[in-house]
Structure 1
Amino acid sequence: MFESLTQRLSGTIDRLRGRGRLTEENIREATREVRIALLEADVALPVVQALIERIKVRAVGQEVLKSLTPGQALIKVVRDELTAVMGAQASELNLNVPAPAVVLMAGLQGAGKTTTVGKLARLLKDKRRKKVMVVSADVYRPAAIEQLKTLAEQTGVLFFPSDAGQKPEDIVRAAIADAKKSFVDVLLVDTAGRLAIDEAMMAEIKALHAAVNPVETLFVVDAMTGQDAANTAKAFGEALPLTGVVLTKTDGDARGGAALSVRYITGKPVKFIGTSEKTDGLDVFHPERVASRILDMGDVLSLVEQVEQQVDKDKAAKLAEKVAKGKKFDLNDMRDQLEQMQNMGGIGSLMEKLPGMGQIPEHLKQQVQQSREVPRMIAIINSMTKKERRNPALLNGSRRARIAAGSGTHPSDVNKLMKQYQQMEKMMGKMARGGMKGMMRGLQGMMGGMGRMPFR
């Protein structure tokens, strides 16, 4: 998300960063470019106008023009205002009510409501340690009920059965009664959607809302619909007392206009964003981190959290202990490291959270994101025998040819993997011998071996 906006803004930001002095003319020119970039990113016009006005007011004041580093000061103003328009800070779900806390999910058909219910159930279970139940009140699509049942099984939460012959209010009342008996903390309710907003749909969801009185009513909307996402959210907000918005399919949205528009137009916070199709592909929306990513400053906090949550700490501790004792780093260890990288969404997912990525040419980023390199390396290691993985020195020419055939790759791919393994082994050896300094030297050696990426 935000690739096109980041690319457009990073040039403007770079030109300002080095300026020892800014004039009102410089600022006018910069805000004009920011305005064009926002409009091209499909940000709603009222949002663009308000944002540019706020940036101008602060930029031509003492805060920027009298600063020792005016370029940096203006960038800070842009970041602060982007953050403010998206809601200033992350907005948590209010679950501080007598159990079960009922969360109602509303939205149009095809926005990803059912999938989002499954993802939110997993997030609440894994990160907030809640006992979760899900129920479908979508009596028009039996497939949605089955889909939610499958998601409940995958995420390990309770599922309350329903069928197309029941009334939505009856389904949810029965689910609440069952949730109380089962000591459930949170009940997530999936509702029916339509292809467009109509009176029948609004009447039905209003009646359901009145019957169950949810503590949270979240509007689920497809980010790829751009300005329409904000307008649809506004229409729902006028019919229902929404408490927040969930933006889905943000991984397919290069512009990001919806994320910047929804809060301003609806007055409701964006609480979560869907980042992938996997059940763990739902993140809390942090406006300040998103603003930093838009301005190509990276999102190191989210990267650290991702590593914390998804790295297998036991395996990491065992590897550290093994290296400290001077034991040999083998291909089993290398495979573990590659699998951890895959679990974190691959190289592309990690790269987009690093500062300066907007300056890398688009074709190179696409190359990395579409790369099948890591899965191919794992397949090659899996084609080896246990003995070969423990003793890589055994891998002569005939063994390498057999491994290539078994993994559907070429012997040159096996040779390339072995070269990378040798570099990692050297790095681990330096860590054991020289502590942190040794590790840094090893990392520099590895980066040199992998070649430099042109940043300009």
Structure 2
Amino acid sequence: MFDNLSVKLDRAFKTLKGQGSITEVNVASTIKEIRRALIDADVNYKVAKEVTDSIKEKALGRDVLIAVSPGQLLTKIVAEELTLLMGETNVPMDQTGNPNTILIAGLQGSGKTTFSGKLANMLKKQGRTVLLAACDVYRPAAIDQLKVLGEQIGVEVYTEPDEKNPVKIAKNAIKYAKEQGKKSLIIDTAGRLAVDEEMMQEISAIKKEINPSETLFVVDSMTGQDAVNTAAVFNERLDFDGVVLTKLDGDTRGGAALSIRKEVTKPIKFISTGEKMDAIDLFHPDRMAKRILGMGDVLSLVEKAQQNFDQEEARRINKKIKKNQFGFDDFLSQMEQIKKMGNIKDLLGMVPGVGKAIKDIDIDDDSLKPIEAIIKSMTPDERENPDLINGSRRQRIAKGSGTSVNQVNQLLKQFQQMRKMMKTMNKMGGAKALSNLMR
């Protein structure tokens, strides 16, 4: 996410390393590099110039403390400016109404249907009863796609296969949601081009007829500055409440995320990465600014863990750690919990300093498959007591998992090291130990 921009900004800050103070001369080249990085990321030139002019003014107006280098100070100022540019704070979605009705609009291929499923899944996890309504009557596979997603997350989908008027379908969906006691209704509409007057009139008519609590404009972040221009046109017709940025895991330059708030004056409310139904996040400008600058996003990482980790399972694992009985079955259970949190590389990128280190490394969920195969090739006794695994057992496990003895040895070594660390932390008092390690 924003890898290219992060690399270029990091390169810009390096020009100030070793400098004792910020001056007109040494800050000028850095500001120029920052502006170039933003424009390369597809940020509008005018917006990029306004931001960098503000950064320069603030940088020259601040004294550099002895404990803070000029590079660190400029990084902090850039983080502040990016946060301001993207909207300062998270703007929550309006969840009032009976039912709370959310209208999803956007261009063709922007990821509206997938996002509708992700949003339904998120609201369901919050304890709300949700109904999805299929109002895309043009794309042949749209209704089927929504049905598959609904089945996947356990959310009912309202459809009228023979009805070709999306306004009527949306009205009937609201009536059905009330009858069934649904708290939230998400209306997935057809993708449309901003230049298609008939289709634009249709989405306007749907909004006017159902008066939704929230109208969200879904935009493919890979389309860059075009996304900003399209959002502006849609906003003139719909006056939507917020923006959803999808496909942020792709090879995107990130310009839409950085400038859409300023250009359209509507907040980004959600970001979406990948196809998994859990791959959705609330948009926090301050956290995103830190991630772009390689400063990590620990808060979002903790929130994801709280949402996805089974508390009862966590307590069970903790008891086993205290008794030094943590085995491979427990390790496998923890891996499954982590996979639920989203893309592995994206998660690691939330850890301060790690994002830069792994930017050129290809890490995906498939990278965990050899580990899973090795563990599942062990007998129940071996998984419970890894000390039983001698040379002949290692050869059998390698053969059964389709891996090498070297890979089995490496996993066993890492596992033993992890157990030792857990034992040490347990002796030191868990939370206290973690606190000491983080200092």
TM-score range, shorter chain: over 0.9
Q: 1:393: how far off?
A: 3.1
Instruction: Measure the CA separation in 1 of the matches of 2:431 and 2:166.
Output: 63
Q: 1:361: how far off?
A: 6.7
- 1:450 equivalent in structure 2: none
Percent sequence identity is 47
Runs of at least 5 residues in structure 1 that lack an aligned partner in the other structure = 445-456
Q: 1:379: how far off?
A: 1.2
Aligned Cα RMSD in Å?
2.5
Q: Kindly tell me: are residues 437 and 166 of structure 1, through their superposed partners in 2, closer, same or farther at Cα, counting changes over 3 Å?
A: closer
Whether the 8 Å contact between 2:100 and 2:183 is mirrored in structure 1 is yes
What's the secondary structure of 2:219's corresponding residue?
A: strand
Instruction: Measure the CA separation in 2 of the matches of 1:76 and 1:267.
Output: 24
Q: 1:99: how far off?
A: 0.8
What's the secondary structure of 1:252's corresponding residue?
A: coil
- 2:327 equivalent in structure 1: 330
Q: Kindly tell me: are residues 400 and 439 of structure 1, through their superposed partners in 2, closer, same or farther at Cα, counting changes over 3 Å?
A: farther
Instruction: Measure the CA separation in 2 of the matches of 1:393 and 1:295.
Output: 44
Instruction: Measure the CA separation in 2 of the matches of 1:346 and 1:358.
Output: 13
What's the secondary structure of 2:216's corresponding residue?
A: strand
Q: 1:53: how far off?
A: 2.5
Q: Kindly tell me: are residues 399 and 441 of structure 1, through their superposed partners in 2, closer, same or farther at Cα, counting changes over 3 Å?
A: farther
Whether the 8 Å contact between 1:217 and 1:242 is mirrored in structure 2 is yes
- 1:35 equivalent in structure 2: 35
Instruction: Measure the CA separation in 2 of the matches of 1:286 and 1:200.
Output: 35
Q: Kindly tell me: are residues 6 and 407 of structure 1, through their superposed partners in 2, closer, same or farther at Cα, counting changes over 3 Å?
A: same
Whether the 8 Å contact between 1:132 and 1:158 is mirrored in structure 2 is yes
Instruction: Please say if 1:388 is aligned against 2:387.
Output: no
Whether the 8 Å contact between 1:24 and 1:60 is mirrored in structure 2 is yes
Q: 1:340: how far off?
A: 2.8
Q: 1:270: how far off?
A: 0.6
Q: Kindly tell me: are residues 154 and 375 of structure 1, through their superposed partners in 2, closer, same or farther at Cα, counting changes over 3 Å?
A: same
- 2:99 equivalent in structure 1: 100
The TM-score with structure 1 as length reference comes to 0.89
- 2:45 equivalent in structure 1: 45
Q: 1:440: how far off?
A: 6.6
Q: 1:106: how far off?
A: 0.6
Instruction: Please say if 1:344 is aligned against 2:341.
Output: yes
What's the secondary structure of 2:141's corresponding residue?
A: helix
Whether the 8 Å contact between 1:10 and 1:358 is mirrored in structure 2 is no
Superposed CA deviations along residues 200-252 of structure 1, whole A, max 9, x for unmatched, are 11111111111111121111110000111111111111111111110100011
What's the secondary structure of 1:429's corresponding residue?
A: helix
Once structures 1 and 2 are overlaid, which stretch shifts more, 409-418 or 420-429?
A: 420-429
Q: Kindly tell me: are residues 361 and 214 of structure 1, through their superposed partners in 2, closer, same or farther at Cα, counting changes over 3 Å?
A: closer
Instruction: Measure the CA separation in 2 of the matches of 1:275 and 1:21.
Output: 40
Whether the 8 Å contact between 2:348 and 2:355 is mirrored in structure 1 is no
Q: 1:54: how far off?
A: 2.2
Whether the 8 Å contact between 1:388 and 1:394 is mirrored in structure 2 is yes
Q: 1:227 aligns with which of 211, 225, 228?
A: 225
Superposed CA deviations along residues 175-220 of structure 1, whole A, max 9, x for unmatched, are 1111111121111111111356311111111111111111211111
Q: 1:14: how far off?
A: 4.2
Instruction: Please say if 1:57 is aligned against 2:57.
Output: yes
Q: Which amino acid aligns with 1:209?
A: K
Instruction: Measure the CA separation in 1 of the matches of 2:401 and 2:437.
Output: 28
Q: Kindly tell me: are residues 269 and 234 of structure 1, through their superposed partners in 2, closer, same or farther at Cα, counting changes over 3 Å?
A: same
Q: 1:287 aligns with which of 277, 285, 288?
A: 285
Superposed CA deviations along residues 292-313 of structure 1, whole A, max 9, x for unmatched, are 1112111111111122222222
Instruction: Measure the CA separation in 2 of the matches of 1:67 and 1:396.
Output: 58
Question: What are the within-5 Å matches in structure 2 for residues 137-156 of structure 1?
Answer: 137-156=135-154
Q: 1:360 aligns with which of 357, 360, 369?
A: 357
- 1:412 equivalent in structure 2: 406
Q: Kindly tell me: are residues 92 and 362 of structure 1, through their superposed partners in 2, closer, same or farther at Cα, counting changes over 3 Å?
A: closer
Once structures 1 and 2 are overlaid, which stretch shifts more, 231-240 or 253-262?
A: 253-262
Once structures 1 and 2 are overlaid, which stretch shifts more, 161-170 or 430-439?
A: 430-439
What's the secondary structure of 1:142's corresponding residue?
A: coil
Runs of at least 5 residues in structure 2 that lack an aligned partner in the other structure = none
Instruction: Measure the CA separation in 2 of the matches of 1:374 and 1:205.
Output: 44
Q: Kindly tell me: are residues 86 and 13 of structure 1, through their superposed partners in 2, closer, same or farther at Cα, counting changes over 3 Å?
A: same
- 1:84 equivalent in structure 2: 84
Q: 1:439: how far off?
A: 6.0
Once structures 1 and 2 are overlaid, which stretch shifts more, 115-124 or 151-160?
A: 151-160
Q: Kindly tell me: are residues 437 and 86 of structure 1, through their superposed partners in 2, closer, same or farther at Cα, counting changes over 3 Å?
A: closer
Q: Kindly tell me: are residues 175 and 432 of structure 1, through their superposed partners in 2, closer, same or farther at Cα, counting changes over 3 Å?
A: same
Whether the 8 Å contact between 1:219 and 1:242 is mirrored in structure 2 is yes
Instruction: Measure the CA separation in 1 of the matches of 2:436 and 2:414.
Output: 12
What's the secondary structure of 1:136's corresponding residue?
A: strand
Instruction: Measure the CA separation in 2 of the matches of 1:282 and 1:392.
Output: 37
Aligned residues: 436
Instruction: Measure the CA separation in 2 of the matches of 1:83 and 1:377.
Output: 39
Q: Kindly tell me: are residues 437 and 142 of structure 1, through their superposed partners in 2, closer, same or farther at Cα, counting changes over 3 Å?
A: closer
Whether the 8 Å contact between 1:134 and 1:160 is mirrored in structure 2 is yes
Whether the 8 Å contact between 2:102 and 2:214 is mirrored in structure 1 is yes
Whether the 8 Å contact between 1:274 and 1:282 is mirrored in structure 2 is yes
What's the secondary structure of 1:250's corresponding residue?
A: coil
Whether the 8 Å contact between 1:427 and 1:443 is mirrored in structure 2 is no
Instruction: Measure the CA separation in 2 of the matches of 1:25 and 1:267.
Output: 35
- 1:115 equivalent in structure 2: 114
Q: Kindly tell me: are residues 375 and 24 of structure 1, through their superposed partners in 2, closer, same or farther at Cα, counting changes over 3 Å?
A: same
- 2:207 equivalent in structure 1: 209
Q: Kindly tell me: are residues 373 and 168 of structure 1, through their superposed partners in 2, closer, same or farther at Cα, counting changes over 3 Å?
A: closer
- 1:11 equivalent in structure 2: 11
What's the secondary structure of 1:336's corresponding residue?
A: helix
The TM-score with structure 2 as length reference comes to 0.92
Once structures 1 and 2 are overlaid, which stretch shifts more, 203-212 or 348-357?
A: 348-357
